[in-house]
């Protein structure tokens, strides 16, 4: 048998790409296949673990936030354990990512916010959100009229957080998967009040 995998060549990146895309596509069998190819070829476990961490955050995200914790724990564990046992740790984390509900809302949200910094006027931080822990801040009105959410029922009080120029912008749009269903319900109750 000949398994093509060159740690420094194109096939190296093709297999790594297929591994990531198999986790993203929720295919546990393909995930294990490409993981096995990397392990069999002598890929560094840290290289594999980094890809699992990225997929846990980029592709699972807030639909199942625990996936990131598992991926990071796996990366730490492979440093302590080494092969051959690290194959089990990597499989554990990769399978969790592959079999988790998916959401790329964090990825899309931060990219949209970064894009706006380059393409739109971003304005000033509203005065009530500014730091007032230094002398002279009060005379500028910094921190004045800030409402501490934990002092209100449900730990929420409507107030403006974005600069005037971005008021009403939505960067975070939760998916209809996993935990984000509950997040969406919470935001439906709070967002339009700010």
pLDDT 10s digits, 160-179: 889 999 988 999 999 999 99
The predicted model scores a pTM of 0.85
pLDDT 10s digits, 45-85: 999 999 999 999 999 999 999 999 999 999 999 999 988 99
In a 3-state reduction of DSSP, which class is residue 68?
helix
pLDDT 10s digits, 14-29: 999 999 999 999 999 9
Residue 127: the pLDDT is: 86
> Any idea which fold 118-193 has?
post-AAA+ oligomerization domain-like (1.10.3710)
Residue 136: the pLDDT is: 72
Structure-block tokens of residue 6: 């060159």
Classify each residue of 89-98 as buried b or exposed e, where b means 16 or more C-beta atoms within 10 Å of its C-beta: bbbebbbbbb
- 135 pLDDT tier (thresholds 50, 70, 90): confident
Query: Quick one: average pLDDT of 93-113?
Result: 97
10-98 and 118-193, same CATH topology: no
For the chain, which residues make up each domain, given as ranges?
A: 10-98, 118-193
Question: What CATH number is given for 10-98 in this structure?
Answer: 1.20.272.10
pLDDT above 80 for 3: no
Residue 53: the pLDDT is: 98
Cα 108 to Cα 101: distance, rounded to the nearest angstrom: 17
């Amino acid at each position: 048998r000949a398994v093509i995998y060159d740690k420094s060549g194109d096939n190296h990146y093709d297999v790594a790409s297929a591994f990531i895309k198999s986790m993203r596509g929720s295919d546990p069998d393909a995930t294990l296949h490409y993981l096995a190819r990397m392990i069999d070829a002598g890929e560094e476990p840290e290289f594999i673990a980094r890809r699992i961490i990225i997929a846990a955050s980029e592709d699972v995200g807030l639909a199942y936030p625990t996936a990131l914790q598992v991926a990071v724990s796996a990366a730490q564990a492979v440093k302590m354990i080494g092969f051959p046992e690290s194959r089990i740790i990597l499989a554990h984390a990769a399978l969790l990512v592959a079999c988790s509900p998916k959401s790329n809302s964090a990825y899309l949200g931060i990219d949209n916010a970064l894009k706006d910094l380059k393409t739109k006027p971003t304005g000033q931080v509203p005065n009530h959100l500014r730091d007032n822990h230094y002398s002279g801040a009060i005379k500028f009105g910094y921190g004045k009229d800030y409402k501490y959410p934990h002092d209100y029922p449900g730990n929420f009080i409507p107030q403006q957080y974005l600069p005037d120029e971005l008021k009403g912008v939505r960067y975070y749009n939760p998916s209809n998967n996993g935990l984000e269903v509950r997040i969406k319900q919470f935001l439906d109750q709070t967002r339009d009040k700010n």
